[in-house]
Structure formats: C-alpha cells, structure tokens
Amino acid sequence: MSTFSPLNPHFEARVRDSFARQRLMETIGAFITSVSPGEVEIELPFSEALTQQNRYLHAGVITAIVDTACGYAALSLMPEDSDVLTVEYKVNFVSPAKGERMIARGRVKKPGRTLAVCSGDAFALIDGKEKLVATMLATMMSIRPALPGATSL
C-alpha cells in the first residue's frame, strides 16, 4: 500500500535505533512490529500500571504510541541526518482502550521538505479482533541538527 521512496537507504535501522533510545517506550512495554517507508506499527500489551480511573489505558498512553508511530513514519522518509519532532497532533477517542494489547499504526499522508502530515490509528485487540480505539492527525517536523538554528521551531 505504501508508495513512498525513502531518501535514506538505512531508514529502518534509523527508526529502530531512535525508538530504542525512547525510554518511555521501554517503561510502558511498547515495541515496534514493523517499519516500511512512510509506515510504522507499534504494539503495547495491556498493563494495569497504565490505566485511568476506569481501568482502561489512559488517553496519554494511547497518544504516546500513536505519536511515536506517526513520528517514525515521518522519519522513515527523511534524509539520513534528520531527526523528527512533533509539532502538534489531534486525537479522537472512539472506544475504551481495553483488551489484551493495543496496536498503533502511523503513516505519512503528505511528506514535505520541512513538515510531514501523518495519520495514525490505535486498535485494541479483543478476542483476536481489532477494534478502533483512537485516531490521530499529526504534523511532524524534520530537524537537521547539522544546520545552524535548526533545532528551533
């Protein structure tokens, strides 16, 4: 389905290396299940430690994995020396985040020189079936650490 050509031949290693440095992903128990050009998938097993007052996963946790999937989907299409930064996102929550685990999928909707627009979804896996839990529309920014002033918005 993905029709993007990556600028960085090592895009998958780039994404996996950066993900491995996200201490939060380790803390909550999330891991990457797939990386392709413009698309990244992340899984998160359910954990009581991550819940809100009704024992569903907290909206912030769902947001964290969809944001990470969208950010790395964007990074997968960026030049080799880039880093990615979340400019903003919007998330709609459509059903309770319960089930054995969550699957977050992020994809680039429109790549750009500086900004990439991404969409992402989180699904709960309940009795082997995926149920939509949340949907995100996000703006990601390419940061070139080598360029002067580039880390500033």
Which residue number, 90 or 129, has a Cβ lying nearer to a copy of itself? 90
Query: Which has the closest alpha carbon to 63: 74, 50, 54, 76?
Result: 50
CB 2 within 8 A of CB 36: yes
Q: Which of 3-11, 34-42, 50-58, 122-130 is the region at the interface with a copy of itself (rule: CB under 8 A)?
A: 50-58
Pick the stretch among 2-10, 23-31, 34-42, 122-130 that binds a copy of itself (CB under 8 A): 23-31
Strands 31-36 and 83-93: unpaired
Q: Does 68 bind a copy of itself (CB under 8 A)?
A: yes
Alpha helices in the chain (DSSP H): 11-20, 23-28, 59-75
CA dihedral (31, 34, 37, 38) positive or negative: negative
How far is the C-alpha of 29 from the C-alpha of 44, rounded, in Å?
A: 6
Rounded Cα–Cα distance for residues 54 and 34 (Å): 31
Q: Which stretch binds a copy of itself (CB under 8 A): 4-12, 31-39, 42-50, 122-130?
A: 42-50
Site mask for a copy of itself (CB under 8 A), range 104-143, x = bound:
-----xx-xxxx-x-x------------x--x-x-x-x--
Applying CB under 8 A, the residues found at the interface with a copy of itself are: 18-19, 21-24, 26-27, 48-54, 58-61, 63-65, 67-68, 83, 85-95, 109-110, 112-115, 117, 119, 132, 135, 137, 139, 141, 149, 152-153
